[in-house]
Amino acid sequence: MFTVEQRDALRDRLLTLADEDLRIVAGAAVLDDWTRTLSDDVAALQLVDLVRGPTVYRVFLLPDGLQFDLSLTPAARFTPAGPRFRLLFGETAKSDGSELPKPPVAGDLFGWGVIYGLHSRACIERGRVWQAEHYIGAVRDHALSLACLHRELPAVQARGYDDLPADTLADFAGTHIDSLEPERLRTALSTAMKALMHQARENGVPSVDAVAQRLSELP
């Protein structure tokens, strides 16, 4: 496992390389050349490319399990991507803030959680137990995201889950599945849906009671 010192040393080294590269304008680089540089200098292995708007994120695996994300954005569209953005060199393009990531919306989290719950229910009845287990996890994740949103914790990528109060997390204990037997799946789904409804009410989602009533009428 990498240490904080190793991580910081790598960061400083790569920033120095970027600052000295005359092709760089506000942090944008030639992707293939930098891939070779990272491979040769720090034994980086390319994992995946993620495209978000104008930006390409190339993710690398380094020795000791350290992950490094190299992002490239056209100079004309290089703007702050979030509240923690800090410019180290170069300059940014003008921005009206419209490209900043939007925080999750409680109603959307609830709606998708319900959809995944319906999918899981259907999968259980059809004997597609692995798919059902997947969707139960999705219901749980959306309920946990709602819990984070209500407490102003990070509500994406599970970043706030471990900071939730113990009594809140206790409500999710029954959502973890130790068997793919249909009855165990139904129990876990029921617990996850109850948690989803509760967290939706905590967030003031207006449709929660009507949705709960509709679901209770299902055979």
For the chain, give every domain's residue range: 4-77, 106-203
Tens digit of each residue's pLDDT (9 = 90 or more) over 40-87: 888 989 999 988 888 888 999 988 888 988 887 777 777 776 666 665
CATH class of 106-203: mainly alpha
* pLDDT higher than threshold 70 for residue 170: yes
pTM of the model: 0.74
| Rounded percentage of the chain residues whose pLDDT exceeds 90 | 54
Q: What is the mean pLDDT of the chain?
A: 85
The 10 Å Cβ neighbour count of residue 32 is 9
Tens digit of each residue's pLDDT (9 = 90 or more) over 88-112: 556 777 766 666 567 789 999 999 9
Cβ-count burial 186-205 (b if 16+ within 10 Å, e if not): bbbbebbbebbbbbbebbeb
* pLDDT higher than threshold 70 for residue 137: yes
